[in-house]
Structure 1
Amino acid sequence: MPQLMGKEIGPIGYGLMGLTWRPEPQSDEESFEAMKASLEAGCNFWNAGELYGTTERNSLHLLNKYFTKYPEDADKVVLSIKGCLNLAKFCPDGSPEGVKKSVETCLRVLDGKKKIDIFEPARVDPKVPIETTLKALVPFVDSGDIGGISLSEVSAATIHRAVKVTKIVGCEVELSLWSLDILSNGVAAACAEHNIPVVAYSPIGSGMLTGQIRSLDDVPENDMRRGLPRFQPENFGKNLELVHKLEEFARERGCTAPQLAISWARQLSKRDGNPEIIPIPGATKVDRVVENAKMVDLTSSELSAINDILKSFEVAGARYSAHIAAWAEG
């Protein structure tokens, strides 16, 4: 079993983004049910963010309420929080002032109900050297306000620079059957070199790899995914072809498409020079949480067959729009 911050965690984690960052947020009680189910399924690494939701109701507020109701769960969870954003302008702020404001805001909202085990700048601020941002975070580690520092959406070069400043305990980047960039751009290799676990977000491709999205009509009008290039009409149909192939493979394997996608990402761990990889699928309903948590043991031949499918297919469209992509180094 992987470990983070000295605690044993399950083979996958749980992303809280969808609980508060969605067109119509569900009730706190519905969210609590999903969170409790994830913990019972062994998904005790939780990933949240100051940016997930509004300043009045984001994932930190939800966590405060959850641990107020279930204080016994606080020590069971390894909590990673993303911050260092100017929420008014919705852009990175890695300045010392921005770092201080972000961490202190997160601590204030959590109000001692749960420690921040890991804190990570959500994106690298192009106007501020990564060394400056990390040096501003170190005093919060020294004081015990946060347990450790992680990175998010960084390049291999930034990883090599970051480890010279302080200990890096994780690196959150996108990885899925339709987003393989980190395996070829040096990010996975850099993490392996420095023994940094990869926290793989969006392992089911923003929901596309679940097979539940058959057309753009299945994506709500005000859903953020409608702005992603891979969901645009000129790309959607092409990308659906990959989904169909993976669904067929999953049926033959006797599992669901999400289970195949998540298990594939998890089983890249320690293979072919890769670091530890911890997928963090998100789900808002208990049944989906339970489904996602069931690991499928893929054989070497099955992994090779999946690789052959991926080699035969070129995903259409970039991961993000130009504005958002400008924040991501990888």
Structure 2
Amino acid sequence: MSQPQPTVLGRKTGHLGYGLMGLTWRQDPKPFEDIIPVMKRALELGADNWNAGEFYGTPDRNSMHLLKSYFTQHPSDASKVILCVKGGGLPNGVPIPDSSPENIRRSVDFCLDLLKDTSKKQIDIFECARVDPQRGNEQAIETLAEYVKAGKIGGIGISEVSAKTIRASQKQVKGLGLPGVTSVEIEMSLWCLDALNNGVLAVCAEEGIPVFAYSPLARGALSGNGIRKNSDLPEGPLRHLPKYQDDVLAVNNKITDAAADMAKEHGCTMPQIAIAWVRGQSGRTKTIALEDGSKKEMKLPTIIPIPGASTVKRVEENLKDVVLTEDELKTLDELVEKFPTQGNRYDEGGMTVANG
């Protein structure tokens, strides 16, 4: 099934992007000199939407430090990359949302300061990683609009938001004299269909807002190794997420097994099937839920999966141009409807800011 080339910020871009979180936000991050060739290969393969975070790592070694190193070594790549940066958390890398004007300025200025001596002086898209449950996101949007008008960031993205928030944010951004919300970032995979069922994709389609889909491999559950038992996960936060507990993994892995079967038939790998399914939703006509819970057949928005990978081999696997037929997409649709995954995406505390 052929797909039109996506457009972000008025630029033609790749069908797949690249998530940088795992390059710096992990227990034993690799040295930058080992990571930069991986990033270079991702760009060579067409993944020109890069997704970074102020809090992806420690205050002195996060995405922004990595990007500073990358663009210092590869200055000509600055114009090739559409850089989306998540921030808006508390200082020192604490991922708790604070949308006060002073904190948003601190967050954006910190990121810009690390890029100022490189060829990538502007952040293309800046987004608050979560909506501040106390303040909402109105103040954040007003503050970010100042940076857009000053030419320091290219556009305002929003992340982990409800359909209601997307609609309100779009109205506010346009009211501030800007074209509108640049992008919406959500979790989406064969293990996570929330956006199809809560009105988020419907609003993005209506408003013409492209979507960045993170964790298209369900945090490794749809990777080559998979997650068959909770102990397969390394010690850390993922082990405690409801979706990856032993009492539900047997049910959830029915989708993994189905993707593996299709991969054999298609002549590719299971992760490639999983990523291709998310990519295949882009511009597809499908019946999905609206904000009020009713259903409607409509053309979905542009959806760009942003898988992460820390080795050249994995980048080359994830970014291979695998396209599913409509029949294959429908087969997987039927399977996820028959075997819906169990367990929330985050624990109780995380879910309070997961759909702001």
TM-score, normalised to structure 1, is 0.96
Matched, 1:219 2:200: no
1:111 maps to which residue?
Answer: 116
The answer as to whether partners of 1:211 and 1:244 remain within 8 angstroms in 2 is no
Deviates more, 1:79-88 or 1:59-68: 79-88
1:59 maps to which residue?
Answer: 63
Name the SS of the counterpart of 1:46 in structure 2.
strand
2:326 maps to which residue?
Answer: 300
**Deviation (angstroms), 1:147:** 0.5
**Deviation (angstroms), 1:5:** 1.7
Q: Residues 112 and 196 of structure 1: is their aligned pair in 2 closer, same or farther, counting only changes over 3 Å?
A: farther
Residues 108-167 of structure 1, C-alpha deviation per residue, up to 9 Å, x if partnerless?
122242120000011000111322220111110000110100010000000110011111
Matched, 1:37 2:44: no
Cα distance in 2 for residues equivalent to 1:129 and 1:242: 36
The answer as to whether partners of 2:187 and 2:215 remain within 8 angstroms in 1 is yes
The answer as to whether partners of 2:229 and 2:245 remain within 8 angstroms in 1 is no
Q: CA RMSD in A?
A: 1.3
1:82 maps to which residue?
Answer: 86
Q: Residues 268 and 140 of structure 1: is their aligned pair in 2 closer, same or farther, counting only changes over 3 Å?
A: same
Pairing 1:159-198 to 2, within 5 Å after superposition: 159-166=166-173, 167-198=180-211
2:290 maps to which residue?
Answer: none
**Deviation (angstroms), 1:83:** 0.5
Name the SS of the counterpart of 2:156 in structure 1.
strand
Cα distance in 1 for residues equivalent to 2:187 and 2:69: 29
Deviates more, 1:135-144 or 1:205-214: 205-214
Cα distance in 1 for residues equivalent to 2:258 and 2:239: 23
2:353 partner letter: W
Name the SS of the counterpart of 1:36 in structure 2.
helix
2:217 maps to which residue?
Answer: 204
2:95 partner letter: F
**Deviation (angstroms), 1:233:** 2.1
Cα distance in 2 for residues equivalent to 1:306 and 1:199: 21
Of 19, 22, 39, which residue of structure 1 is paired with 2:23?
19
The answer as to whether partners of 2:229 and 2:246 remain within 8 angstroms in 1 is no
Deviating 4+ runs (over 6 angstroms): none
Cα distance in 2 for residues equivalent to 1:147 and 1:311: 39
Matched, 1:148 2:152: no
Cα distance in 2 for residues equivalent to 1:172 and 1:134: 16
**Deviation (angstroms), 1:327:** 1.0
**Deviation (angstroms), 1:218:** 2.9
Cα distance in 2 for residues equivalent to 1:241 and 1:307: 13
**Deviation (angstroms), 1:312:** 1.1
1:136 maps to which residue?
Answer: 143
Of 97, 121, 133, which residue of structure 1 is paired with 2:128?
121
Cα distance in 2 for residues equivalent to 1:50 and 1:112: 17
1:281 maps to which residue?
Answer: 307
1:259 partner letter: Q
Identify unmatched segments of 5+ residues in structure 2: 174-179, 286-298
2:296 maps to which residue?
Answer: none
**Deviation (angstroms), 1:329:** 1.2
Cα distance in 2 for residues equivalent to 1:90 and 1:35: 24
1:43 partner letter: A
1:274 partner letter: L
Q: Residues 316 and 225 of structure 1: is their aligned pair in 2 closer, same or farther, counting only changes over 3 Å?
A: same
Cα distance in 2 for residues equivalent to 1:239 and 1:265: 17
Pairing 1:218-257 to 2, within 5 Å after superposition: 218-221=232-235, 223-257=236-270
Cα distance in 2 for residues equivalent to 1:205 and 1:85: 24
**Deviation (angstroms), 1:56:** 0.7
The answer as to whether partners of 2:190 and 2:255 remain within 8 angstroms in 1 is no
**Deviation (angstroms), 1:300:** 1.4
Name the SS of the counterpart of 1:163 in structure 2.
helix
Matched, 1:73 2:99: no
Q: Percent identity?
A: 47
Aligned length: 329
Of 55, 73, 93, which residue of structure 1 is paired with 2:98?
93
Name the SS of the counterpart of 1:149 in structure 2.
strand
